[in-house]
Structure 1
Amino acid sequence: MNSPTFKQALSQQDLSYQKLLESLQPFHHVVFLNNNNQPLIGFLADRYVLIHAKKTDFFQQTTFNTYEKSKYYQQLPEFLTSSLNPKNEILTMGFVSYDFAANQQVHAQIKNQPSLFLGQFSSYLSYENQTWYFNSDHIDAQSIFQQIENLTQNHQSSETLALAEKCKSRWSKQQYQQAFQHVQDYIVAGDCYQINLTQEFTTKAKGSLLSTSDQFWTLTNAPYAGYLRVESFEVLSCSPELFIDFETNRKIVTKPIKGTMPRFEDAVLDEQSKNTLKNSEKDQAENVMIVDLLRNDLSVYAETGSVKTPKLFNIESFNQVHHMVSEIEATLKENVQPFDVLMSALPGGSITGAPKIRAMQIINELEQGARGAYCGSMGYFNSDGTGSWNILIRSIQKYQEDISLWAGGGITIASNCDAEYQECFDKVDALLKLLNTFYKHQ
């Protein structure tokens, strides 16, 4: 990948992620990713595509921070592949919702909010050697850098989030039990082997999710954290899950999570919880179903014989939970477009079930609400096709005044309803408690 023509360190180096992102609030949109502690911030896209309610619009920057609809691109694939040119230092960043990805293969509900945003950025911030750098191939790079300097030196806080009421589940336990039983009936009937059944937690709020971000990222220490804002839509990612890393020499890696146990402050109890997960035949069976599904998804684009599973049933410990994580790698065929791989593999098998098509149909029937960004993916591509995309779990989305947070897990024939219901809360309990501190009783 070429070096940008303009690269300069910011003078303000003591800003947290939140404060730095708040400094960029005057810009039309912003995307922050911290995949495996490699922070990137995209802003002031040269062009972007936005999909909302099945309507696709392409936008071109006309003057500084001003955009007009463009008719240059007619199709999303054309827009995406236009950014993959190693001669240009263009960073493509954004998100793809579960709703958009699922609707490429089945009929699924769509949440009334943006369902895809992808921008092509010739200017972005990167964090290297404990230093924030402004990188740009833009013709006005020096001028843009000065704007960033002015904004960071005169930081303005975002509007504090204020919940109208506490965030709570849309389902009662009885409703969850009914959905769980329907899944079991489908499994017995032979429709599916596993369904990722999730439930939504909702509330309304004023203010910005960004005002809470440092607290959420400190709480979770998530390896695939991120934040995106466009128009009146925000996504705050505290995700522990990688979807696909696109590495050099056409290597790709995916790390599906299936299997969860809670963490405990008591070291003995915590170790017992970890060992319970490690030795769980039910979780291993659940995990291997998704490994097989993803191996199949990747094999379409991979060189024959290159799909391997170097890690199976690894236990990874996060701040609130232990997870069972496997790893699959492959080498892409020559001339395969990375965007094609990403789009065809979404939504990730770890958050649908198996077989994928039928699982998505059952999810649409039983969950009684669109997932939106949840279980979609947020990430980036460099112009040489390398990049990294997460799975948007442990993530909060806000559109206008509507806040949505989801949690769930894979249901198999061996699943216990009470245990699966509790797993939902194990995954989001800490997030919910923190989010609800922003409710001030009147």
Structure 2
Amino acid sequence: MNKKLIKDKLNKFGSLKEPFLFVISYDFTKSYIEKLSNLPASIKFQLNQKEDFSKRTLKTKLEKFPISFEEYKKKFEIIQEEIKKGNSYLLNLTAKTKIDTTFSLDEIYENTKSKYKLRFKNKKEDFVCFSPEKFVEIKENRIFTYPMKGTIDSKVQNAKEKILANQKEMAEHTMVVDLLRNDLGMVGLNVKVEEFRYIETINAGDKELLQVSSKISATLQENWYENIGDIITSILPAGSITGTPKKKTVEILKKVEDYDRDFYTGIFGIFDGKSFDSFVLIRFIEADEKGNLFYKSGGGITCDSDVLAEYEELIDKIYLAF
């Protein structure tokens, strides 16, 4: 299904005020849009689940087989050259990592402690996502987005102060906020940054992370639900998992990453007939036709990035949040 077909189907369901689930791939080549009343048992979701960090009942066994540092370094250096040429200022470089675990995707879904999670399985796709990142929500005629950029282990001494004072993280976060301000400006009026760089706590399996987020809003027309497809497709792919400027950055990433993101870094969510909620498909594990599991992860690269630190971040983001 291409971008126009996705847009038209979202508009149709929105106009009917029909509650539905949607899952849209990073590049619009794949999508799933279905009435909530028609969802099969193999597709499950939980939204706005409260994370309870005190109840960790399972020990997680997870082996990672990541891209080599040498191979990652080559990709990193290509990106730095593009930044020097002025073709991009921020690029979210991702990779596909084979993993081994004793848990099935169903067990991962059931046991994961995450605010937003999705278990998706049909004839062609088989994946689980436990995302910490909301994309956009629409309530009445207000649209909100919540870019996340910047993480630190909560056990680091003065972790909150350190992440907020880090100049590289500040620059990266500011660029994403600016990009998403512009995105909301394409679909709404009175764009405002309501909160800039606040801290959230995220369950990352054997550790807790502090994540830096911001809140941006705009005003939509009162009949926004008739144009859900136009609104969403206009601002995809999400700025936090691409970079800026978005169009050129997406072109660079397609060449450098050398694999298909597919649904990873796309979005999923629901329209309940009155309001709209969507989430970025990150913290993402998929199974291939042989049952092999792959975890897709990444992080933002700027001119100030350290290659070893970025490589370690890519691996650190591979975890089970039990």
TM-score (norm 2): 0.84
Choose which of 12, 17, 35 in structure 2 pairs with 1:120: 35
1:283 aligns with 2:283: no
Choose which of 192, 200, 203 in structure 2 pairs with 1:316: 200
Choose which of 131, 134, 153 in structure 2 pairs with 1:242: 134
Cα distance in structure 2, aligned partners of 1:97 and 1:350 = 15
Structure 2 matches for 1:220-369, cutoff 5 A?
221-248=113-140, 250-264=141-155, 269=156, 271-303=157-189, 306-320=190-204, 321-336=209-224, 337-369=227-259
Cα distance in structure 1, aligned partners of 2:134 and 2:228 = 16
1:195-225 Cα offsets, whole Å, 9 max, x none, are 101121125899951133223x1xxx32122
Larger mean CA deviation between 347-356 and 324-333 belongs to 324-333
1:196 aligns with 2:128: no
- The equivalent of 1:83 in structure 2 is 13
1:257-287 Cα offsets, whole Å, 9 max, x none, are 11111233xxxx3x42332112112111110
1:374 aligns with 2:264: yes
Structure 1 residues 310 and 210: alpha-carbon distance in aligned structure 2, compared to 1, 3 A threshold? same
- The equivalent of 2:65 in structure 1 is 168
| Deviation of the 1:431 alpha carbon | 2.6
- Kept after mapping to 2: 8 A contact 1:308/1:330: yes
Q: Secondary structure at the match of 2:27?
A: helix
Cα distance in structure 2, aligned partners of 1:283 and 1:166 = 29
1:158-203 Cα offsets, whole Å, 9 max, x none, are xxxxx9x95422x210111111111111111111111101121125
The AA in structure 1 aligned to 2:35 is Q
Unaligned runs of 5+ in 2: 47-60
- Kept after mapping to 2: 8 A contact 1:93/1:120: yes
Structure 1 residues 188 and 228: alpha-carbon distance in aligned structure 2, compared to 1, 3 A threshold? same
Cα distance in structure 1, aligned partners of 2:102 and 2:125 = 12
- The equivalent of 1:150 in structure 2 is none
Structure 2 matches for 1:135-214, cutoff 5 A?
166-169=63-66, 171-202=67-98, 209-214=105-110
Cα distance in structure 2, aligned partners of 1:239 and 1:126 = 11
Cα distance in structure 2, aligned partners of 1:418 and 1:302 = 40
Structure 1 stretches of 4+ with a deviation exceeding 4 A read 123-127, 203-208
Cα distance in structure 2, aligned partners of 1:224 and 1:212 = 13
- Kept after mapping to 2: 8 A contact 1:314/1:325: yes
Q: Secondary structure at the match of 2:108?
A: helix
The AA in structure 2 aligned to 1:412 is T
Cα distance in structure 1, aligned partners of 2:6 and 2:304 = 41
- Kept after mapping to 2: 8 A contact 1:85/1:383: no
Cα distance in structure 2, aligned partners of 1:316 and 1:79 = 34
The AA in structure 1 aligned to 2:65 is K
- Kept after mapping to 1: 8 A contact 2:45/2:119: no
Return the structure number with greater relative CO, CA threshold 8 A, min gap 6: 2
Cα distance in structure 2, aligned partners of 1:195 and 1:203 = 25
**Aligned pairs, how many?**
298
Cα distance in structure 2, aligned partners of 1:364 and 1:308 = 32
Cα distance in structure 2, aligned partners of 1:370 and 1:75 = 21
The AA in structure 2 aligned to 1:343 is T
| Deviation of the 1:126 alpha carbon | 10
Cα distance in structure 2, aligned partners of 1:205 and 1:232 = 22
- The equivalent of 2:57 in structure 1 is none
Structure 1 residues 75 and 409: alpha-carbon distance in aligned structure 2, compared to 1, 3 A threshold? closer
- Tell me how large the CA RMSD over aligned residues is: 2.9
Cα distance in structure 2, aligned partners of 1:381 and 1:283 = 33
Cα distance in structure 2, aligned partners of 1:182 and 1:300 = 31
| Deviation of the 1:230 alpha carbon | 2.0
- Kept after mapping to 2: 8 A contact 1:232/1:399: no
- Once the two structures are aligned, what percentage of the paired residues are identical? 30
- The equivalent of 2:317 in structure 1 is 427
- Kept after mapping to 2: 8 A contact 1:262/1:426: no
